[in-house]
Structure 1
């Protein structure tokens, strides 16, 4: 399983899944190939997401909002892991994707839904990216190449409980 192919899925594919894709591709250094998609893509990447990534020194070239339809059917690229990042706590519907890969859920409030001043919106994107980065770092520490699918699912589910402050969402 090298590189490990990971698809991040949300509804709009404009913020959380884009932040996740770019962060894993940057920090994964070829050990992982990250992709992202949405069930109802907005068609454009949120400019605050691009600003957050660029400010963190991560490449933003080639990022785009696209449909998950590209990842189903016989012509779809093979995947090892699919991670939904929608926020069930906000009653946001999470897409369901079928295939022979490990699935997990890393719920996260949508920073694109943040309101207020540009500074407040930037703060929401910064916080979301901090959580995503913490989770990505935990993923990078997993021996994904040697874990069984059941072990990998369990480890990924545990990562989904991590927040940016060192705690878990259940405790937050």
Structure 2
């Protein structure tokens, strides 16, 4: 059994459509987490495709987008699915949604950010909304991945997770 310092933590990002925010968060986690964290994403009502601006943004930032697909959160509640250590909701409305019960009782928090897919305006303004979403999520994920997780008790860790979502 690996020690807490060697453990790879599984992190699920949930959103409604799983086409923008949660996909961006998954990509960031898998880069910033440097093997200590493995990111996943899903939606309660997946769109069935990743928003093209999400793919454009990630490709511009040198992410491999082969992982990106819009999927239902039920995929991660099935037998044999990776056990989640952390589950974060990243949409404005997700905190009010009914979430499935996750095996192993992962730590969870709401890290809501505005939906870039709902942005209106010129093409440049819409692309900026995706970049802004990336900036917010990258900041939160960077703070999260630098936490001394193994050294915090569950209550202190929950407070930190909640505080990150308010930043």
Q: TM-score w.r.t. structure 2 length?
A: 0.89
User: In the TM superposition, what are the counterparts of 1:30-69 in structure 2 within 5 Å?
Assistant: 30-69=35-74
Partner residue of 1:96? 99
For the residues of structure 1 that align with 2:108 and 2:95, how far apart are their CA atoms?
Answer: 18
Pairwise CA distance, 1:92: 8.2
Contact 1:86 1:93 in 2 (8 A): no
Contact 1:10 1:95 in 2 (8 A): no
Query: How large is the Cα RMSD of the aligned pairs?
Result: 1.6
Pairwise CA distance, 1:95: 4.7
Aligned counterpart for 1:12 among listed residues 17, 31, 45? 17
For the residues of structure 2 that align with 1:159 and 1:34, how far apart are their CA atoms?
Answer: 17
User: In the TM superposition, what are the counterparts of 1:108-119 in structure 2 within 5 Å?
Assistant: 108-119=113-124
For the residues of structure 2 that align with 1:108 and 1:128, how far apart are their CA atoms?
Answer: 7
Gapped runs of 5+ residues in structure 2? Answer: none
Q: TM-score w.r.t. structure 1 length?
A: 0.87
